[in-house]
Chain A
Amino acid sequence: MTQPSDEATGAQRRGIFTPELLDRCISCGFCLPACPTYGLTQVETSSPRGRINLMRAIESGALADDDPTVVEESSFCLGCRACEPVCPAGVQYGALLEEWRDHTWHGRRRPLRLRGLLWAVNRRWRVRLMGLVRRHARGGSRGAAATATGAEPATLMLGCFERALYPEVSRAAKRLAPELDVPRRQGCCGALHAHNGELERGRELARALGDALPGTIVTTSGGCAAHIATVLGRERVRELSEWLVAREGADEPEANGGDRPRIGLQDSCHLRNGLGVMREPREVLARLGEYVELPSAGACCGAAGTYALLRPGDSARVLDRHLDEIAAADLDALVVVNPGCYRQLEQGVKRRGLRTRVVHLAELAAERR
């Protein structure tokens, strides 16, 4: 029989989700084709609309928090937010997912691997320790560059895992944008926490980073940019390509003539779907060589923050299509704007034995200026 629907009439609420966020969905299903996990499975349960129905069910008590399907889907979702730009009703799916994981993964129910990862970046000294052994960008006395130009102060964010895994990225960014200060005392932005069940800690870390980095925060990580913008406000943060394009004309030379490498891009999901930034990285790359738009450039590569570590099999299935396209386009370089994508594509390209070089936008731009 047709049952009255509690979740739609708001009769019962456990308070897991912000009501305005959960009520926003009109169940039209326009999100289905945008969702990578729906693409893999063709199963509604693994789509944004299906997952919102699961969220509504735990909110109303129709399903238990530890229902196996609920637990599985909260983890199977990549959190790429590709469903947001196509949503006619403006559902903030990313925010709902954070609340879901905050509730479902809280404390001991969180996967063990994840706990280790979050522990490593939870304190500023641990993050600095990770960076200490690597030669990430340094220098620029606080506010000196800004005072010289009379502009608002701006600082370069080093990131947490990026500073340890890819220290060349921040060095390249500093060469491209010497006007940026690089304060030493900076920790993790908290995006990893917010996406993995520690929403409040994620916000705290972002606020602490905001205090440590005065003025505009320029970051080489799309995922961090989106999280910082959510907590500190959009006006406080610029992803590097945004910063470079906004400065255009000042000292942005054409690519050194002669060779025109074929360059593709992997968008950062949260940069594209959360902040709507997609024109700027393409504009930078078009100056460096022959830019090739891959059909899946805007789709999640499967790195998805901690996803590649937690669900390596699914992560690889999501990546496969990207590798097929990179191989078919015979790219010289595949450019990333986020450290997670960097690692994911670097490993994937290596595994396939492709000749394409995976490189961060900052590195390629600094090389070819």
Chain B
Amino acid sequence: MATTTRTATDLRAALEAVVGPDHVRDDAGALLTYATDATPLERGRPDVVVFPGSTDEVAGVLRFANERGIPVVPRGSGTNLSAGTVPHRGGIVLVLTRMNRLKEISPGDLVAVCEPGVRTIELAQAAAAEGMLFPPDPGSHTTATIGGNVAECSGGLRALKYGVTRDYVLGVEAVLATGEVIRSGGRLVKDVAGYDLRRLLCGSEGTLAVMTELTLRLVPAPEATGTGMAYFDDLGDAARAVSRVLSDGVLPVTLEFLDRVCIDAVEGYSRIGLDRSAGALLIFGQDGDEASIDRDMRRMAEACEAEGATHVRIAETEAEAADVLQARRAVLPALSRLEPLTILEDATVPRSRIAEMVQRIQDIAERHGLTIGTFGHAGDGNLHPTIVLDPADGEALERAHAAVDEIFAEAIAMDGSITGEHGVGLVKLRHLEAQLGADHLALLRRIKGAFDPNGILNPGKLGS
């Protein structure tokens, strides 16, 4: 017991020497609040929480941890849904929210330069104030940090047209596990000097290095946005409408769907006048100049009608558009109110197989006696099967885990992925080999070893 106490005191003193006494927490309450992220049921037990204020301080913490072999889990706002920021092997939680300076918005170079702790919406708003758009908009963008979004390669609602976070990372400054500071890329659109490490770090889930500065690509902001919706009796019709929209040469900014369970939950919760008899709801939108929005919205409406939409509506006013988007935004709140526990997954399939996949998910739900609502990004095949259950209800949790396993197996069998945008983290690591194969996993481990020889960065997750 005495040894434990002395070790804890040593740890605290050493870290205080790096970041100052006000930025180290090891009280039981603080440790408990950094034991979890947004993933249900997953909980670790950190030894200490450290809040560095600069690249030098990050390097100091990592050098110390590397010498001692102490695990380090980098963290932003903790909105991760795959337990990627859960410190399940203890050690240091390295919180980067103090490093929240937005250093530059450059309309000339179309870039933003910022520290990792800037919230994504702050970056987007600063860009918008200069007439530019930062397109990645994950559901958590009001809370999540840009550092976390890059580390997880977050997606969002605009991915079909604009791509995901990796398509906007031009340059990174990162601290290696051994304390050296590297830079990859910068303000250039074209730059092939060396391996593309900034892309490798994007989506590396805190296992390779700690990013301390990001240079992000911006695009000119579109003039306006149009929004519409279409009901279908059957999700298969909606999926064919999606294919028809794309083959007609329209690349929409929004193409979201809700299945029957989601429509019913949303209407039950928010009473916004959705048709509960419908089998699927498709929400579509386009941005750009007024003329191309008008043309594309009309073509999308026609494509829906051609595939048997029972009702199509294009919003005429901003208030109407807000109503339509509200249906999509209300899905998670509505589902989460059905039961105490919500498990949000993000299996992804080629978009041509969405209807088939949703049907499989419903079969799995019935077989396990579970409620699973599926909604998501119809344009890119990224589905959010959402299981709601009461953990007090017998073996509901075990049945949910079995259902999730089956959903992943179906996704892999359809050339899909176990995760489109939430990350592998802790909870999907055991499924990774089924998707990537043993040789691929072995290569990931060698890459991890090259960056982090002592295996201190987010150990037990990707590359471990």
A positions within 8 Å CB-CB of B: 1-5, 8-10, 23-24, 26-30, 32-33, 42-45, 47, 49-50, 53-54, 57, 62-63, 67-70, 72-73, 86, 88-90
Contacts and interface: CB of A to CB of B under 8 A. Distances in A.
Given A2-B44, A45-B29, 13 more contacts: A5-B41, A26-B40, A27-B38, A29-B140, A32-B143, A33-B143, A44-B30, A47-B33, A53-B33, A53-B36, A54-B33, A73-B29, A89-B333
B440 interface: no
A44 B34 contact: yes
A212 B174 CA distance: 66
B337 A90 contact: yes
A214 to B, nearest CB: 33
A54 B29 contact: yes
Contacts of B25: 43, 45
Contact of A68 (B27, B117, B142): B27
Given A26-B40, A89-B333, A67 B29 contact: yes
Contact of A90 (B41, B98, B117, B333): B333
Given A8-B391, A45-B25, A32 B77 contact: yes
Contacts of B27: 68-69
Contacts of B55: none
B160 interface: no
Contacts of A43: 25, 30, 51, 95
A9 B29 CA distance: 20
Nearest to A73: B29
The 3 lowest CB-CB distance pairs between A and B, nearest first, are A69-B29, A50-B33, A88-B333
A63 B28 CA distance: 8
A57 B32 CA distance: 8
Nearest to B331: A88
Contacts of B391: 8-10
Contacts of A72: 29
Interface residues of B, number: 47
B332 A30 contact: no
A12 to B, nearest CB: 12
Contact of A63 (B29, B38, B392, B397): B29
A69 B397 CA distance: 32
B78 to A, nearest CB: 6
User: Which of B32, B36, B117 is packed against the most chain A CB atoms within 10 Å?
Assistant: B32
A62 B144 CA distance: 28
B429 to A, nearest CB: 12
B32 A2 contact: no
Contact of A1 (B32, B79, B88): B88
A29 B33 contact: no
Contacts of B397: 9
B140 A26 contact: no
Contacts of A63: 28-29, 32
Given A32-B143, A33-B142, A42-B100, A3 B43 contact: yes
Interface string B86-126: 10110000010110100000000000000001010000000
A68 B332 CA distance: 35
A53 B119 CA distance: 23
A2 B38 contact: no
B146 to A, nearest CB: 14
Contacts of B287: none
B321 interface: no
A73 B32 CA distance: 13
Contacts of B33: 44-45, 47, 49-50, 53-54
B54 to A, nearest CB: 15
B426 interface: yes
Nearest to B45: A3
A57 B25 CA distance: 18
Nearest to A62: B32
A63 B43 CA distance: 15
B419 interface: no
A47 to B, nearest CB: 8
A28 B33 CA distance: 13
20 contacts: A1-B45, A1-B88, A2-B88, A9-B41, A10-B340, A10-B392, A29-B38, A29-B79, A30-B143, A43-B30, A44-B34, A44-B95, A53-B33, A54-B29, A54-B33, A63-B28, A68-B29, A69-B28, A88-B332, A88-B336
A70 B29 contact: yes
B312 interface: no
B142 A30 contact: yes
Contacts of B267: none
Given A2-B426, A33-B119, A90-B333, A23 B340 contact: yes
Nearest to B29: A69
A47 B38 CA distance: 14
B342 interface: yes
B213 interface: no
Contact of A29 (B44, B77, B333, B342): B77
Contact of A27 (B36, B51, B97, B333): B36
B414 to A, nearest CB: 29
Interface string B157-185: 00000000000000000000000000000
Contacts of A26: 38, 40, 336, 342
Nearest to B40: A8
A44 B117 CA distance: 13
Interface in B46-87: 51, 77-79, 86
A14 B315 CA distance: 51
A50 B433 CA distance: 34
A273 B18 CA distance: 41
B42 interface: yes
B137 interface: no
A8 B37 CA distance: 14
A67 B28 contact: yes
A43 B97 CA distance: 8
Contacts of A88: 332-333, 336
Contacts of A5: 41-43
A42 B99 CA distance: 10
Nearest to B391: A9
B427 to A, nearest CB: 10
A44 B96 CA distance: 12
B341 interface: yes
Contacts of B117: 42
Nearest to A2: B88
A23 to B, nearest CB: 4
A105 B117 CA distance: 35
Nearest to A68: B27
Contacts of A28: 38, 79, 140, 143
Contact of B51 (A10, A42, A70): A42
User: Which of B37, B38, B43, B98 is packed against the most chain A CB atoms within 10 Å?
Assistant: B43
Interface in B285-316: none
Nearest to B98: A42
Contacts of A73: 29
A27 B37 contact: yes
Contacts of B392: 9-10
Nearest to A72: B29
A3 B42 CA distance: 7
Contacts of B36: 27, 53
A9 B337 CA distance: 17
Nearest to B392: A10
B139 to A, nearest CB: 9
Contacts of A90: 333, 337
